[in-house]
Amino acid sequence: MGSLVQYALGARLGRERTRALLVKLPGIKAETVDRAEAWFARHGAQAVLFGRLLPGVRPLTSIPAGVERMALPQYILLTTIGSLAWTSTLLLSGYLLGENWHRVTDSAGTFSYAALGTLALATVLVVAKRRRRRRAEKAAIETNEEARSEAARPSEPQADRSRPTS
């Protein structure tokens, strides 16, 4: 059901509003959104199907599918197949692990914390880099404006140095 809500959100917002919202997020550039959109346009069905199998990617396929107005029956079918495959894999893994399931969850917990820490650090670095770039661009613009205003000012007449002064 959550996937359908995200699909509806993408369809309702449309391409331009979704893009405008995404580029406001730290670390997301307009070019990145454009490339992702073009990639989804080429691989939409596969993206929905296989995206359901990848943690972290699952929620990222629904909104583009809505934006692209993928046929709803196709979207539901692909989402169902991909979600069933993911859930079945988890269930089968749990069954095969039996009483040893806690070993996996302990390791997964450590991995999750490491992944979240890495993501947080990456976010901080991207935001800092973006801020430095914006400051540098702003400084360059101000420098160019100052240079233009200097060039536009009338120059002061210089003294005639051809005659000797007494």
Q: Could you tell me which residue, 77 or 106, shows the higher pLDDT?
A: 77
**How far is 54 from 74, CA to CA, in rounded Å?**
19
Q: What percent of the chain has pLDDT over 70?
A: 86
This prediction's pTM: 0.54
Q: Which amino acid is at 141?
A: I
Report the pLDDT averaged over residues 63-79: 86
**Which pLDDT does position 27 carry in this prediction?**
75
Note whether 19 and 30 are within 8 A (CB): yes
**Which pLDDT does position 73 carry in this prediction?**
92
